[in-house]
């Protein structure tokens, strides 16, 4: 699903978790606000998630660690805060992790 560079606003709907066969999610450069729903963890086939410059906030949910097929995660230039969950270390297929320009703290789990 490629929805980058639109004027989408509001939160990411929790119903995103119903799209279980989704392998590409591009939501960059929108006005999406709020937190990443925990239902993102239901997207077991997700391989590429790009959501930069989207104003998302809150912490990165631990359910991200359930995305075993994820190869590319780009959530840079948002308002994500807190620590990077240790479950990121479970993503053994991950080739690219871009979290820069977020007010994150703590250590990077590996």
What confidence tens digit (pLDDT) does each residue in 17-35 have? 999 999 999 999 999 999 9
By C-alpha distance, which of 91, 88, 94 is closest to 104?
A: 88
pLDDT of residue 108: 85
pLDDT reading at 110 higher than 90: no
Q: Taking the model in full, what pTM does it have?
A: 0.93
CATH homologous superfamily, domain 9-102: Ribonuclease Inhibitor (3.80.10.10)
- Quick one: pLDDT band at residue 85, thresholds 50, 70, 90? very high
Delimit the domains of the chain by residue range.
9-102
Q: Measured between alpha carbons, how far is residue 61 from residues 2, 5, 6, 38, 39 in Å? A: 22, 24, 25, 6, 9
> What is the pLDDT, as a whole number, of residue 109?
85
What is the per-residue pLDDT for 25? Answer: 98
Q: Is the dihedral of CA 65, 53, 24, 22 positive or negative?
A: positive
Question: Is residue 78 within 8 Å of 57, Cβ to Cβ?
Answer: yes
């Amino acid at each position: 699903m490629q929805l980058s560079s639109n004027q989408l606003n509001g939160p990411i709907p929790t119903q995103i978790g119903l799209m279980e066969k989704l392998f590409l999610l591009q939501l960059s450069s929108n006005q999406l606000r709020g937190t990443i729903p925990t239902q993102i963890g239901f997207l077991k086939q997700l391989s590429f998630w790009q959501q930069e410059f989207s104003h998302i906030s809150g912490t990165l949910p631990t359910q991200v660690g359930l995305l075993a097929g994820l190869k590319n995660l780009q959530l840079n230039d948002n308002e994500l805060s807190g620590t990077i969950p240790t479950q990121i270390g479970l993503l053994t297929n991950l080739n690219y992790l871009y979290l820069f320009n977020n007010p994150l703290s703590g250590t990077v789990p590996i």
